[in-house]
Copies of this chain bind each other. A is one copy, B any other.
Amino acid sequence: MPNDTLPNHTPPDDKSPDCGPNCGGPRVRAIPPGEDRERLMCPDCGYIAYQNPLIVVGAVATWEDGRILLCRRAIEPRKGYWTLPAGYMEERESTREGAAREAWEEARARIDIDHLLAIYDIPRISQVQMIFRARLLSPDVEPGPESLEVGLFEWKDIPWAELAFPTVIWALREHHERLGRSDCAPALNPTPDALARWEKML
């Protein structure tokens, strides 16, 4: 668990994903010494190009009256559909800082992150999504560069048929079922039972 120094597997400090200046680049799939699975390697210098899962951070952010912030996507995938403010975590920030940054970037929303609402594993695309609950510090929001429009939605007005991704539906449902609760374990990917129950509600 290398957390106190740079891990022994990362690229050199210059963060170049490339290897040596005279190398042909990582282009061969091979099992590195001491490992048990194939990696993309440079046969000239032995550099290993690790591929890792990505973290998506986001928030169900509500105003005092319970209305929920949603953003209509200006970019693919799922351009034109509604989503929670969320996106890829950046280096050298915390998960909470990342969720707050995304709310600002996508909706010019200042939010106060509360607790972790849900963690969704999406192994098919190697993503882990961490969705927080948050309070909007002001109801004044406006579209950032990745949003066509943004808005605060009462529960009954949520555009369920126009939500961009399954995890948006999941997080909104969990938020609604947990109203008034905070000190509980984050939700995980919903069970088939939960999905069936939610389906009936639509």
Asked if A124 is at the interface of the complex by the 8 Å CB criterion, the answer is yes
Inter-subunit contact A95/B119 (CB<8 Å): yes
Per assembly, the copies of the chain total 2
Asked if A128 is at the interface of the complex by the 8 Å CB criterion, the answer is yes
CA distance A51 to B11 in the complex (A): 10
Inter-subunit contact B185/A89 (CB<8 Å): no
Size bracket of the A interface: 35 or more
Inter-subunit contact A3/B122 (CB<8 Å): yes
Inter-subunit contact B52/A4 (CB<8 Å): no
Name A's B-contacting residues (CB within 8 A): 1-10, 15-18, 25-27, 34, 36-37, 40, 49-56, 58, 75-78, 83-84, 86-97, 105, 115-116, 119-130, 145, 164-168, 182-186
The 21 sampled A-B contact pairs (Cβ below 8 Å) are A1-B83, A1-B164, A1-B168, A2-B165, A3-B122, A3-B129, A4-B77, A7-B88, A10-B54, A17-B26, A18-B25, A52-B88, A52-B90, A53-B55, A53-B90, A92-B124, A92-B126, A93-B123, A95-B119, A115-B185, A119-B130
Beyond A4-B164, A34-B145, A52-B55, 19 additional contacts (C-beta under 8 Å) are A1-B56, A1-B165, A2-B56, A2-B78, A3-B125, A3-B167, A4-B165, A5-B77, A5-B78, A8-B77, A16-B27, A18-B27, A52-B90, A55-B128, A91-B126, A95-B128, A115-B185, A183-B185, A186-B186
